[in-house]
Amino acid sequence: MAGVPEVRLVPHTHWDREWYEPFQRFRLRLVDLLDEVLDRAEADERFRFTLDGQMAAVDDYLEVRPENRDRVAALVAAGRLAVGPWQILLDEFLVSGENIVRNLEIGWARAEDLGGAMRVGYLPDEFGHCAQMPQILAAAGFEHACLWRGVPSGVEGHAFRWTAPDGSSVRTEYLAHGYGNAAYVLSDPGFFAERMTALGHRERGRFGDDPVLAMYGTDHSAPVGSLVKLVADLDPAQVDVRIATLGDYVAAVAASEPTSVVIGELRSHAAANILPGVLSIRPQLKQVMAEAERLVERYAEPFAALWSAEWPARFLDLAWWRLVDASGHDSVTGCGVDDTATQVFARISEAAHLGQAVRDRVVGRLARSVSRDAFLAVNPSPERRRDLVTVEVEVPDDWPSVAVEMPDGTLLPAQVESRTDPALHEETATGEDLALFLPRVHGRELFGQEITGWRCDPEARVLEFGVARHGGEAPFDVEAVRAAIVGRTGSWTIRITQATRAVVTGLVDVPPLGWTSARVVRADAPTEGSLSNGLLTVEVREDGTLRLTSADGTVLDGVGAIVDGGDRGDLYNYAPPWRNTLVTEPDLVVVEPGLSGPLRSTVSITRTYSWPEAVDWDEDSRTTARVTGTVRMDVELRAGEPFARLDLTIDNRSRDHRVRCHVPLARPATTSHAEGQFAVVERGRTAEGGFSEHPTPTFPAHGFVDAGGAGVLLTQACEYELLDDALAVTVLRTSGQLSRNVHPYREEPAGPQIPTPLAQQIGVTTVRFAVQPHAGDWQDAALLAHAERYRHPVHPALGEGDPDTALATATGLSVEGAVLTSLRRREGALELRVVAQSPDPATTVVRGPFTAARRVDLLGRPGEEVPVADGALTLSLRPWEIATLRVA
């Protein structure tokens, strides 16, 4: 280390696509910046620039400056402009694992198309890193990563070996002082030489014999125009500085094997803020993201891959572009201004609409092969499902009960939950005006149904139409009606009656990733039901909470307790007021019994609270003024499910507070297990601190969280904390400031101090989850399987085909011994991704319509062939291994 310090200066920008300004306002600045960068790079071949590891910045620029594509491509190909490999710098905990893979896939392809992607998994500003990221990178061919936040205190030097749960790893360059450790060196060019020399000497202890990495850039910044000349004018006897891209630097130090090894997720506060409050702010963004991901990943793509004659590639690409765009670390997190959050919500909603459209087209075409007096059920899971579906079908009033007839003649239980009134519509008109009603008839359609018959009764002065979902075979001619009402006088009644329809919930048996048709038929008298299904008993306590008792005797007492407290933090970090007021007891509890059937029973519990209106900033306490807050908890218990479904509807009128729902533990626990991003992560009850941020022990979960015999199945990414006696799930957190300059839990601002009134969440917020009491651990309780059932319901549709069509069923593709995370068509084959989400090795068997198979990496590059026999292949997977297959 003796001698002149060697420094690699990496000019770059960190481009937050949308944040404290919305996307289009930031893009105007992006275009100016890249215009300048291109001019400088072309003027001097010594200039280098690293464009933040995300192709979104390039795409956003070229959409405005398409004429500059060749200029960009030439600089990329020459190695002077580093782009990719990501499409966007994401938040790793608020999206699915598949979203992360598609982000890398899209960004890599775009960068390669422009001349070549940077071979570094650059993750400079993510608010912590998920456990499986090293495997994702390694499985895509990466050997290196580079990041800042979340690294624990024990790491020595400027790099570490980052290892995923499956054992795969990447060498990781550690930006210990952030992605702008040299951002200040040119704030005054007159001090450039002095500052570069000082930086080189100061950092030599950490870098050893390797060159010092100096990241020259920060948020939305461009390098000074005199950069190249200033570097050239430096005295090499004082400091050896060379301008490089990040890829150049990593390649130069690649042979230097780090001594530190870190396994799993990076969520330490020791050396940088990880801003955990973003997990719970603006919950509607997390909810719509999860819904859209499931629609695209588990319904649209698999259904189209297996059951559509054509592959709707462009529609699915559009959906994924929107999901990936919205996954940005300042987007789905909700930590931007209100305008940004509004735009992100709309973008994710578009992805959901695209997923719905593809799903419904595939299902609609299948429904045309199903009799119109039957219904279709399509299974999104790769294993056979016996599950409930709810359909509205025509059921005669005199049927004592109903059942579901399957294609093999088996009758499965069903229950009628409600019936429609046969009297659909009635109005009066003079005889002379009867004809004015006829424009409401469109062909055979009237009031959204089809006309089955009509009559004109001159004596009773009644014109009556019968309607049903299908009009039948008898012809209908509106001109015949017109002729019958000509010349009528006096006061007439126009009446529309409809065939009696009923909402029926019934069991169906559906093959893996397949479909079945079924029919609602008459059955004997119904069986009485209760809030007990043999697997779980639900009791409502006087305070409106629940007592859940499982078949093995595990009891969770007090499920659903609501705890409201003040929050004087901001969008990034929770912080309680100095004098906090917790509200735990409701003023009023109203219990409304609902359904009580053999298959589905419900009860609704509405609790009314007096919550402090806001935070009193002068007193650093909650106000004495109170407002009414209500929490409605709809509880549902289904046959065959060992968990209770809870839907919370929160009507909020309070500002700057946090509402948590407590799920009591059945037994003491010191650790929790949370599913997300291809892994189940074990966490303790504390978080490592050491930097400027209070290490709040709140953590993310995506599919489920489990501790002490209390399993919580989730429909969206959320924040939780393991307390002494409960899991506390944050269901609402509100704040009126993007960041606060003075924050009791954080020393430095996380952004500008800008009001965010919409983040106060005034109005109604909904949160859905399920609770399962159990003995043993999360594996013993089969929480992965139950989360699959809860999160991915069987999808029903009414038949549209010939009434003489027989009931039928068809099998798609099955997976045993692993979790299926993706199924699509790619390059003329079926591509599927499976994960061994277990700490034990797994033998995975895949069965389906294929005769050949090959493993591919996460970017689709071919690997070894996999033997196929009788339509089945077998894989031996490491614990937590992600495997991608092409089958044909």
Chain segment 534-546, per-residue pLDDT in tens: 999 999 999 999 9
pLDDT tens digits for range 73-119: 999 999 999 999 999 999 999 999 999 999 999 999 999 999 999 99
Q: Is 334 left (phi over 0), alpha (psi -120 to 50) or beta?
A: left
pLDDT, residue 553, reads: 96
pLDDT, residue 592, reads: 96
Burial class of residue 804 (count of CB atoms within 10 Å of its CB; 0-12, 13-18, 19+): exposed
Backbone angles phi, psi at 23, to 5 degrees: -50, -50
Instruction: Answer yes or no: is pLDDT of 531 > 90.
Output: no
Q: How confident is the model at residue 397 (pLDDT cuts 50, 70, 90)?
A: confident
Q: How confident is the model at residue 590 (pLDDT cuts 50, 70, 90)?
A: very high
Instruction: Answer yes or no: is pLDDT of 463 > 90.
Output: yes
The closest of 250, 247, 193 to 48, measured between CA atoms, is 247
pLDDT tens digits for range 432-455: 999 999 999 999 999 999 999 999
CB atoms < 10 A from the CB of 633, how many? 23
pLDDT, residue 528, reads: 53
Measured distance CA(303)–CA(688) in Å, rounded? 44
How high is the mean pLDDT of the chain?
A: 96
Question: Which run of H or E residues covers position 73?
Answer: helix 69-77
pLDDT tens digits for range 328-346: 999 999 999 999 999 999 9
Measured distance CA(152)–CA(524) in Å, rounded? 65
pLDDT, residue 289, reads: 98
- Over residues 842-863, mean pLDDT: 96
pLDDT, residue 597, reads: 87
Instruction: Answer yes or no: is pLDDT of 865 > 60.
Output: yes
Measured distance CA(721)–CA(707) in Å, rounded? 10
Instruction: Answer yes or no: is pLDDT of 306 > 80.
Output: yes
For tokens 């690293």, what's the residue? Answer: 50
For tokens 């037994």, what's the residue? Answer: 667
Burial class of residue 738 (count of CB atoms within 10 Å of its CB; 0-12, 13-18, 19+): buried
Question: Which run of H or E residues covers position 518?
Answer: strand 515-523
pLDDT tens digits for range 344-370: 999 999 999 999 999 999 999 999 999
pLDDT tens digits for range 112-138: 999 999 999 999 999 999 999 999 999
Question: Which run of H or E residues covers position 8?
Answer: strand 6-11
Instruction: Answer yes or no: is pLDDT of 472 > 90.
Output: no
- DSSP E strands: which ranges in 312-400? 375-378, 385-394
Helix, strand or coil for residue 503? strand
pLDDT, residue 473, reads: 82
Percent of the chain with pLDDT over 70: 99
Which amino acid does the sequence have at 861? R
Q: How confident is the model at residue 526 (pLDDT cuts 50, 70, 90)?
A: low
Instruction: Answer yes or no: is pLDDT of 293 > 80.
Output: yes
The closest of 616, 565, 610 to 280, measured between CA atoms, is 565
Provide the token pair at 749: 């601002």
Q: How confident is the model at residue 691 (pLDDT cuts 50, 70, 90)?
A: confident
The answer to whether 734 and 563 are in contact (CB under 8 A) is no
- Over residues 698-724, mean pLDDT: 98
Question: Which run of H or E residues covers position 346?
Answer: helix 338-367
Instruction: Answer yes or no: is pLDDT of 529 > 70.
Output: no
Measured distance CA(179)–CA(175) in Å, rounded? 6
Which amino acid does the sequence have at 815? V
Measured distance CA(703)–CA(778) in Å, rounded? 12
The closest of 257, 176, 162, 150 to 209, measured between CA atoms, is 257
Instruction: Answer yes or no: is pLDDT of 854 > 70.
Output: yes
Question: Which run of H or E residues covers position 157?
Answer: none
Q: How confident is the model at residue 787 (pLDDT cuts 50, 70, 90)?
A: very high
- Over residues 217-242, mean pLDDT: 93
- Over residues 747-757, mean pLDDT: 96
Backbone angles phi, psi at 194, to 5 degrees: -65, -45
DSSP 300: I
Measured distance CA(338)–CA(641) in Å, rounded? 40
Which amino acid does the sequence have at 436? L
Measured distance CA(447)–CA(427) in Å, rounded? 14
Measured distance CA(373)–CA(803) in Å, rounded? 6
pLDDT, residue 400, reads: 87
pLDDT, residue 558, reads: 98
Q: How confident is the model at residue 530 (pLDDT cuts 50, 70, 90)?
A: low
Instruction: Answer yes or no: is pLDDT of 684 > 80.
Output: yes
- Over residues 773-784, mean pLDDT: 97
pLDDT, residue 3, reads: 83
Cis peptide before 85 (omega within 30 of 0): yes
pLDDT, residue 527, reads: 53
Q: How confident is the model at residue 474 (pLDDT cuts 50, 70, 90)?
A: confident
User: What order of strands is seen across the sheet that includes strand 882-887?
Assistant: 819-826, 829-835, 882-887, 853-856, 862-866
Instruction: Answer yes or no: is pLDDT of 739 > 70.
Output: yes
pLDDT, residue 21, reads: 96
CB atoms < 10 A from the CB of 112, how many? 15
Measured distance CA(816)–CA(834) in Å, rounded? 10
Rg for the chain, CA atoms, rounded: 31
pLDDT, residue 2, reads: 66
- Over residues 217-226, mean pLDDT: 92
Q: Which letter, b or e, does each residue of 35-47 get, where b requires 16 or more Cβ atoms within 10 Å of its Cβ? A: eebbebbeeeeeb
Instruction: Answer yes or no: is pLDDT of 532 > 90.
Output: no
- Over residues 287-306, mean pLDDT: 98
- Over residues 18-32, mean pLDDT: 96
